[in-house]
């Protein structure tokens, strides 16, 4: 079976990175903040989310390095432990991000045609607000 590839991984070796990229693509395509929040929760959930699993991965890597019982192995182990702590701290910093994403409400998606038409009053679609008037006065434009 051929692994999906990306421009930076044409052979498809990095399948876990591809999974994260797929999750990112789904987030970019989310049709609502509720849907986006559900996807963000897959990353930030403190027990089973991606960040927690990544922290556990770094802890396992630290154990592997420590098992070498060499100075370099111990140093590497500390680096991996620091990475695990950093990832967990990131999750703690974002602990209310899912709720905040949900609270944003429904996104307003404009087609490219609506965006362009919105600049021309005669062609503005119903419900699309008029663009702000350009500033005027002495501070506007080039200095003489």
- Tokens at 28, concatenated: 């970019």
- Asked, for residue 6, whether it belongs to a domain, the answer is no
pLDDT digits (tens, 9 = 90+) for 45-71: 999 999 999 999 999 999 999 999 999
Distance CA 61, CA 63 (A): 5
| pLDDT beyond 90 at 135 | no
- Asked, for residue 60, whether it belongs to a domain, the answer is yes
Q: Give the domain range for residue 23.
A: 15-101
- Asked, for residue 50, whether it belongs to a domain, the answer is yes
Place of tokens 């999974």: 19
Question: How many domains are there within the chain?
Answer: 1
| pLDDT beyond 80 at 81 | yes
The pLDDT > 90 percentage for the chain reads 66
Contact 110, 59 (CB under 8 A): no
| pLDDT at res. 112 | 61
- Asked, for residue 55, whether it belongs to a domain, the answer is yes
- Asked, for residue 65, whether it belongs to a domain, the answer is yes
- Tokens at 41, concatenated: 């929760």
pLDDT digits (tens, 9 = 90+) for 83-115: 999 999 999 999 999 999 999 987 656 556 555
> Could you give the 3-state DSSP secondary structure of residue 9?
strand
Q: What CA dihedral angle connects 86, 91, 92 and 95, to 10 degrees?
A: 170
Mean pLDDT of all residues in the chain? 82
130-141 average pLDDT score: 46
**Conformation bin of residue 104: beta by default, left when phi > 0, alpha when psi is -120 to 50:** alpha
């Amino acid at each position: 079976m051929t692994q999906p590839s990306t421009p930076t991984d044409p052979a498809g070796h990095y399948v876990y990175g591809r999974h994260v990229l797929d999750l990112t693509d789904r987030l970019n395509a989310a049709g609502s903040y509720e849907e986006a929040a559900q996807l963000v929760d897959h990353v930030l959930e403190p027990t089973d989310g991606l960040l927690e699993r990544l922290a556990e991965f770094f802890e396992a890597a630290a154990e592997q390095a420590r098992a070498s019982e060499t100075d370099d192995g111990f140093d590497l182990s500390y680096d991996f432990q620091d990475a695990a702590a950093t990832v967990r701290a990131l999750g703690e910093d974002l602990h209310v991000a899912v709720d905040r994403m949900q609270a944003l409400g429904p996104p307003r998606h404009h087609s490219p045609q609506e965006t362009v038409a919105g600049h021309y009053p005669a062609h503005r679609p119903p419900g699309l607000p008029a663009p702000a008037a350009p500033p005027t006065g002495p501070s506007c434009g080039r200095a003489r």
